[in-house]
Structure 1
Amino acid sequence: MEAKRTIRVASLFAGIGGICQGFLDSKNKKAKYEIAWANEIDPYACETYRKNFSHPLIEGDINFVLHPENSDDIEKYTELHEQALSEPIDVINGGFPCQAFSIAGERKGFDDERGNLFMSFIDLINQLDEKFHKKPRVLFLENVKNLKAHDHGRTYKVIKSKLEDCGYTVKEAVLNTMSYSELPQNRERIYIMCFLNKDDADKFTLYDNLDKFKRTFDATERATQIKNIIDYSVDDPKYFYTKEKYPHYFMTEEEFAKNGSKDGIRINLEEDITEMYQFYQLRRGQYVRKNQSNVCPTLTANMGTGGHNVPLILTPNGIRKLTPEETFRLQGLPAGRGYVFPTSFNGTKTYGNSHLYKQAGNAVSVPVIKMIAEQILDIIK
């Protein structure tokens, strides 16, 4: 049997490995992906990543990896630099930090240092070309939907022109997780594909035929999907909302008439959260909203900041927020079913759920990545 061709991949801003997992899950009879290395700066995300992947992880600031001379630890970053440039790369992928462009953030774009991290892709391309006289054949970038419209389209125009200046043909599409996978999550993201060879670009027709891949599900089918993700037997008290813990979220009409409330608003979760297999949000502590599409609202990194940012559900044991495992599974990572969590940080500190919630919100939807990555593999096999 003929051996499969190996496509070497470098992954920037790898987080907990959602994009890497999507690539590794991709199937093709003639070729397969191999992650040459991945890069991530967040030490907690790195801890989670290493628990689940065995390929090299370059931990640190990508700008210093590419330019060790600018760091305070030249020895460390010189070693990482040599690792990153040890061999040619066929595909670079990455979801560069989106907070600078997100509707949920301050939308400062390139005025935010995180927005400028896009240039790491350009820098790596040029350094690989300089050393090996070979640019990556394909680039795969992911970001928030708002990137396309940010600053009246000027931000994306700059990004696209930089990629084209490197010789790439650029194609992009905004895809919603709930429409292109069986994951019940409303998550719109822009997926940017860049091809060094025009012939490859011409063969990549996924974005021209999205209707063939789009899927719709009725309420019964969504309920089945949700049952596969949510563990309705969970009874850990720390996840549950009760009148004892949050009396102001279980206020009866009589209590409100008698005592009022601090902000003049009455909320009673038991009145508002009434349906199983649905997702609810406690918005700014002022009202409860059910997602109208029978799916989970977009998971965000804010889930890790406390407050009431984690979606709520009704279970036989009461009203509770999603567990970290469930938020990971809503992204297509099988937490508790093969994908594991760290129990400590550096073997000493307790690894808090806040880090896991943040990681899930920053992650990508693995099946969507897999769908696109398989199309690439079909072309460059």
Structure 2
Amino acid sequence: MKYRAISLFAGVGGLDLGFEQTGKFETVWANEFDEKAALTYRSNFNNTLSTLDIHEVDKEKLPKVNIVLSGFPCQAFSVAGYRLGFEDERGDLFFETLKVINAVEPEVVFLENVKNLVGHDSGKTFRIIYDALEQHGYHIKYQTLNAKDYGDVPQNRERIYIVGFKNKRVYEKFDFPKPTELKKKLSDVIDFDNQLDERYYYTSGKQSFYDLLERDIVSQNTLYQWRRQYVRENKSNVSPTLTANMGTGGHNVPLILSNHGIRKLTPRECFNLQGFPSEYKLPDVAISHLYKQAGNSVVVPVIKRIAKKISIALEKASEVEPIQLEI
């Protein structure tokens, strides 16, 4: 039997994919308001996808499931969102997640957000979330994991993962995964060799600042960013954190020195850096939407490793005494 999941703020399905890759979980209902992200989701999943505003979803009519997944929008808690937290209207989306949890009463709750969530407003924001989950009967564990250390993905991307269990025995059996060696190189996920569509390349005729790019972008061992007035080299030889605003301007998309010139990453390469498999379908939409979707998504291998740990905890606890998972 597979554990049934509801996925909120599903985006392009990164959380769902990571859980389903374990072979232990299946998403039966998902919600994603952004129509372009929903198009990508539908290109890869066959389950029920609602595109309603989460506020309009009738929580009482949702299917009974074992786990609720929620990557509720993080802008309200991130530096990019000016750290407004719950004062930002997007901050209330956690409470919409809580309404779903209250209606469905899953055995497990899985939340993902930016690492700044913990320190926001001197820790008050995170304390509200933690206390709310506890008051709903969940035992909580949380940890900040970096994709390059826990997902074998060459991207510097730190995120906080919060896991709640109704059953204390399952909670006691659960541990977050241990760090793993980074074996994947940038060249494993980025095409330095082949010539691509000219729209990805920077040239002296198109960019007034090209001479600065040519002067400072000198290595194929790392990625660069044009920061409006200067070139920033990512010293750690992995990709900097991909962001949702990559689609709003070329300066936000990481740059490489390919064998055919200086260019920005393609949307597919951005999805590669999030650990999506090569067969993941990207629909025919403007590349600005695909950049945004990649930047908003999660690192799939990290999700898969946590999901596997959750399934192991559920199984180990059941060996001692069967757990009734109502569906």
Amino acid at match of 1:51: S
- The residue that corresponds to 1:49 in the other structure is 41
Asked if residue 89 in structure 1 is aligned to residue 65 in structure 2, the reply is yes
Match of 1:259 in 2: none
Give 5+ residue unaligned stretches, structure 1.
68-80, 129-134, 251-267, 344-350
Query: Counterpart of 1:314?
Result: 257
**1:10 to 2:9 alignment:** no
Aligned: 1:304 with 2:253: no
Asked if the contact 1:25–1:370 (Cα under 8 Å) also holds between the matched residues in 2, the reply is: yes
The alignment's C-alpha RMSD in Å is 1.3
Aligned equivalent of 2:132, options 159, 162, 169? 162
Among residues 310, 328, 333, which one is paired with 2:276 in the alignment?
A: 333
Question: TM-score, normalized by length of structure 1?
Answer: 0.80
Letter in structure 2 aligned against 1:33: F
| Aligned-residue identity in percent | 51
Are 2:221 and 1:277 equivalent residues in the alignment?
Answer: yes
Please list, as runs of the form range in 1=range in 2, the aligned pairs for 1:1-381 lying within 5 A after superposition.
5-27=1-23, 32-66=24-58, 82=61, 85=62, 87-128=63-104, 135-206=105-176, 213-217=178-182, 221=183, 225-232=185-192, 233-250=194-211, 268-283=212-227, 285-334=228-277, 337-343=278-284, 351-381=285-315
1-side partners of 2:30 and 2:247: how far apart?
23
Contact 1:281 1:290 in 2 (8 A): yes
3-state SS, counterpart of residue 60 of structure 1: coil
Residue 248 of structure 1 aligns to which amino acid in structure 2? Answer: F
**3-state SS in 2 of match to 1:127:** helix
1:190-229 deviation digits (Å, cap 9, x = unpaired):
00010111111111122xxx5xx21344xxx55xx22221
Deviation at 1:366, TM superposition (A): 0.2
Contact kept in structure 1, 2:245 and 2:295, CA below 8 Å: yes
- TM-score (norm: length of structure 2): 0.93
1:224-246 Cα deviation digits (max 9, x unpaired)? x2222112213211001111111
**Structure 1 counterpart of 2:201, one-letter code:** F
Q: Please list every run of at least 4 consecutive aligned residues from structure 1 whose deviation after the TM superposition is greater than 6 angstroms.
A: none
Matched position secondary structure for 2:137: coil
Q: Distance in 2 between matches of 1:215 and 1:269?
A: 34
Q: In 1, are the aligned partners of 2:217 and 2:256 still within 8 Å (CA)?
A: yes
Secondary structure at the aligned position of 2:231 is classed as strand
Aligned-pair distance for 1:307? 4.0
Distance in 2 of aligned mates of 1:92 and 1:234: 43
Aligned equivalents of 1:290, 1:147: Cα separation in 2: 27
Q: Quick one: distance in 1 between partners of 2:293 and 2:27?
A: 20
Could you report, residue by residue, the CA deviation over 1:302-333 in whole angstroms, capped at 9, with x for unpaired residues? 10112410000000000000000000110011
Look up the match of 1:72. none
The residue type equivalent to 1:118 in the other structure is F
Number of aligned residue pairs: 314
Cross-structure match for 2:322:
none
| Alpha-carbon distance in structure 2 between the residues aligned to 1:214 and 1:242 | 40
Cα separation, 1, equivalents of 2:270 and 2:250:
16
Give 5+ residue unaligned stretches, structure 2. Answer: 316-327
Task: Give the C-alpha shift of residue 277 in structure 1.
Answer: 3.1
Distance between the aligned counterparts of 1:378 and 1:316, measured in 2? 45
Check conservation: 2:4, 2:67, Cα contact below 8 A: yes
